[in-house]
Structure 1
Amino acid sequence: MKVHVVGGGLAGSEAAYQLAKRNIEVVLHEMRPSKMTPVHKTGLLAELVCSNSFKSCDLHNASGLLKKEMELFGSLVIEAALLSRVPAGKALAVDRERFSQFVTEKIKNVGVQIINEEITQIPQDSPDLWIIATGPVTSINLCSWLKKITGENLYFFDAVAPIITAESIDYSIAFTADRYGVGTKDYLNCPMDREEYERFYEALINAEVIPIEGFDKGLLFERCKPVEEIARTGKMSLLYGPLRPVGISDPRTGKQPYAVVQLRKDNRDGTLYNIVGFQTRLKWSEQKRIIRLIPGLQNAEIVRYGVMHRNVYINSRKVLDAYMRLKLNEKIFFAGQITGVEGYLESAASGLYVALNASRVIRGLHPVKLPTTTMMGALFDYVTNELDKELQPMYANYGLLTSQKRDRGEIAEKSIEDLKCFLTQLAGEREDLCEGTG
């Protein structure tokens, strides 16, 4: 028996790699570059299409704890991120091209068969296991099949920020600084006075946007809301959001600017920067015009424009079991954002979880649940637990961990300890784990 992984994003790549490491025959089906999506630019595996940041490494942050748990699993995504890291303060940001190239080579070297083709449905009579990890931009054809077998599929709208060249930035205006002077000065800051901000604001809220079929503002995902939609909620909204100036001092004046636009390195060489919090669906000509209203970016050269796309996911609580298998066909697993987890790390982590259980099924063992005292276990339990309410996409967060302990350091310590114990027991194939530990 072999495993077919559909989708070469973060979840699919992680799952394929982990299975191959366990000496399981894996076929990875990735339609790119034969057929591209609205947001991908290359045929590389694990291409990052939105931010290049994997968020904080601090254990007091849920993303930091999730990284640590994934490291304990031997995550390929974490390995690749650390090896392609670019300066970003406490955050783990990466050179996106180096990151994807590393993942692609590792998967090829571990013996995974890669087929560039679109999968439109899973064969009903297949003797193999399948993992659907097609992500938020699942093709229309596969979406149609999913709707038939699940009875429904859901979606929300997501957006991507522009990337500009470093050489086009005016460094006589843009400056490096950290909020309240704490950090390693990994961000560039473009300051605005009140007049500059108001001119920028008016241009932004009146700019033309690209029409999207079925677009509904009620389906905008909050953390990736387009900057123009944030602006339309009120004139001060940007000043408490992506343009907040607190804790930053302009070296030219020694004072806090009225507003600040921040830029973060997008590659290790520092030749590209992305505009933090500037996800958008503005027309490309409008993006160029409005970005060039930002002091320091008056000559900005945009190498990737912001776009909006529809994020597809299924109602996992209705159609998947606790191991992320399709209830109607236990040979089909799901992983990644299509399950309702939200975020780079969360997607890759689900690939780890599904690979673990797919490998157990192939070896004739019962699948296992992760301890719900761990961030991974709590997240996957949230996604698959049959609660009364409809599933909403979810990031890793400390609210998922029910604990008497209030200190996040203590919660993180217990989570790590419990996962280490779980993995130690699992390595010995203890039979008392065969019914799960959740």
Structure 2
Amino acid sequence: MKPAPTLPAAFLARNGQHLPAPLQALQHSRGQSLQGMPLPTRKTENWKYSSRYLSFDEALAPTLAQSKDSDAAVMTTPVSGYRIVIRNGRVDQSASEFPDSAGLRVTPFSELSNEDAQKLAERLDHSLDTATTQMARLNTARLEDGVFIAVAKDTEVDRPVYIQVFTDTDSGQQGSVYPRVMVEMGAFSKLTLVEQYDAGGDGSCLVNAVTEANLGDSANLTYIRLTLEPETIRHIGATGIRLGANSRFESHCIGFGGVLRRHDLQVRFEAPGAECSLNGVAVTQNSQHYDNHTVLEHLAGHCNSEETYRCMAAGKSHNIFNGRIHIHRDAQKTNAQMSNKNLLLSAEAEIDTKPELEIYADDVKCAHGATVGRLDPEALFYLLARGIARDEARTLLSMGFINEIVARIPLEDVRERVDQRLAGFIQNNLIED
């Protein structure tokens, strides 16, 4: 029998020697625990559709070097809030606009005091199930830098915080980067956080990104995640959220496909009264791949969750959605709803959807549903009969399929950016029915 593949030792080379000592100690501990780690295969349930796209070629092991030209490929997208730039895994302070706001602290990991770094080290990785997000531990072992965001109690941040994660592959260089974000929110605080992942050039690179957030009682976090990288980038992302009593988490995840795209979103309801709303759109074309996995862990009672994802696949691409709601024994009076609708734009495209409910409480209200189909021929005929050109009619129907989700994004500049990218995707993938 062929032995199972393991993580090459080259991927455990130490990074971040400039980090505070407690974070270096955490890196070393994680690296030791990952030696000989089995890599996912087709028999690994949560990676069965994506393991074949997961490359740990040793050419990708080195950390990408920082560009000598600090202005070469910095993201110039206008933003309406505070801008934090992470380039090739390191915070680019010259391109960032750190907030000057009472109650909001944004600090690179590399500039934390030993005392604060120790507190951070004790919190990292506690919001994610490492059995299903194996690559998040690799992010910790290979940290070069990260962004720590602390929102004080009773603070409503006046502007969104934009974290723009840029991978510089202009020279065709290969390697990997490990961006990290940690958010701590005090009681009754409020924050809007935007993460945008992009890259320059066509080099092959592995992006292993992790974001964690701990919400205090009655805290409110709106989280927008945009995966806009070129298709040559292999992107593995994980987002872990812990909810306190009466807190609220709202997410909007928009993703465009590539050689490999994978995002795990895990939310833990740890106290009564917490709520979350998950919204997502994933589109793929040509031979691209996108794999969305969400997990809602209802540990406490009297909590509400609502999840709505839309997926579109064109060409010979593959789009996956796996959503799991786990209602624990003590999570009575839970209200959980999940909906996943999928649109095939090509006869050769593939979409796999797997909504799951695992319920151990007896006083709950839960529902889930999933559909896969093509454009409604009756709706298309209706538009054609009113003089609308066929291509325009298909574009309108396709945009209508996802506009319900895009319209929920609360920031107009982000919404317009997403609309433009999605309209271009649809126009490039019109097919004859």
Normalising by structure 1, we get a TM-score of 0.27
Which is greater in Rg? 1
Larger RCO: 1 or 2 (CA < 8 Å, sep 6+)? 1
Q: Please state which structure has a larger fraction of its residues in strand.
A: 2
